[in-house]
Homo-oligomer: A and B are copies of this chain.
Amino acid sequence: MEEKEISQAVIGRLPRYYRYLGELKMSGVDRISSRELSKLMHVTASQIRQDFNNFGGFGQQGYGYNVGFLYEEIGKILGLDNDHNMILIGAGHLGQALINYMNFRNRGFFFRGAFDVNPDLWGKEAGGVKIYPCDDEKMKKFIADEKIDIAVLCIPKTQAPAIAGKLVSYGIRGIWNFAHVDLPVPDDVQVENVHLSDSLMKLSYNLRRHTSETAKNGKKSEDWDRNL
């Protein structure tokens, strides 16, 4: 498929389509129209058609999309037809929560090892993988030997940029970053940030705005898009 430039907003919506299509497929649904999918997902049918047109439209022919085909195609676009090998950097509470989360494995994302500065953790296991010292040579060799493509960063923000720089020099091409800082990495390294505090502040904004609107207008807010 010829690929044109696709906005990160569209990409951000693909996993949600993938999730709904997976559930439809599991429920035995073979075909679905953009209008039915729209109703289910609470997005407009025109948005769905526009999003899918970025990838050639997936061939809706008046009588709906083929659910199994669409699910598989979106999976391919998301790179889920390949497995990913990951390392965890920082095996604290959050890191151990991520490494124990089965869903990632089901999608082809496998933690192969964890690294931490805390000697109490060295040699122990989390989620079935060993925890190693955050030693430069060890990390470098592990990344090469185990063909690691993604590093998951669960370390304090003060340390994250320096560690990210090292990991990139060892061959890491993708960083899933939970440290609350933006990472300065080369353009050919992909970073996906999960800034939990930012997300909580957004919730706080929406709570405050809604409360003040209700107080002012005495009516409910109708515009909230709960699917963001």
A interface with B by C-beta (< 8 Å): 3, 5, 8, 11-12, 14-16, 18-19, 41-42, 77-80, 82, 84, 92-94, 96-98, 100-101, 103-104, 107, 109, 149-150, 173-174, 176, 180, 182-183, 185-188, 190-214, 220-228
Contact = CB atoms under 8 A, between A and B. Distances in A.
Contacts of A182: 41-42, 226-227
A220 B187 CA distance: 7
A77 B204 CA distance: 9
A204 B84 contact: yes
Contacts of A221: 187-188
Contacts of A228: 8, 12, 192-193
Contacts of A211: 173
9 contacts: A79-B205, A94-B98, A103-B197, A104-B197, A173-B207, A187-B224, A192-B200, A192-B206, A194-B194
Most buried by B among A12, A82, A207, A226: A226
A109 to B, nearest CB: 6
A11 B204 CA distance: 11
A200 B88 CA distance: 14
User: 5 tightest A-B contacts by CB?
Assistant: A79-B208, A15-B198, A93-B97, A192-B203, A79-B204
A176 B197 contact: no
Contact of A192 (B103, B194, B199): B199
Contact of A14 (B16, B190, B205): B205
A191 B210 CA distance: 12
A19 B200 CA distance: 13
A173 B19 CA distance: 26
Most buried by B among A5, A203, A226: A203
Nearest to A186: B220
A190 B196 CA distance: 16
A202 B193 CA distance: 10
Contacts of A97: 92-94, 96-97
A202 to B, nearest CB: 6
Given A3-B212, A19-B180, A173-B211, 5 more contacts: A79-B207, A97-B97, A103-B196, A190-B203, A192-B199
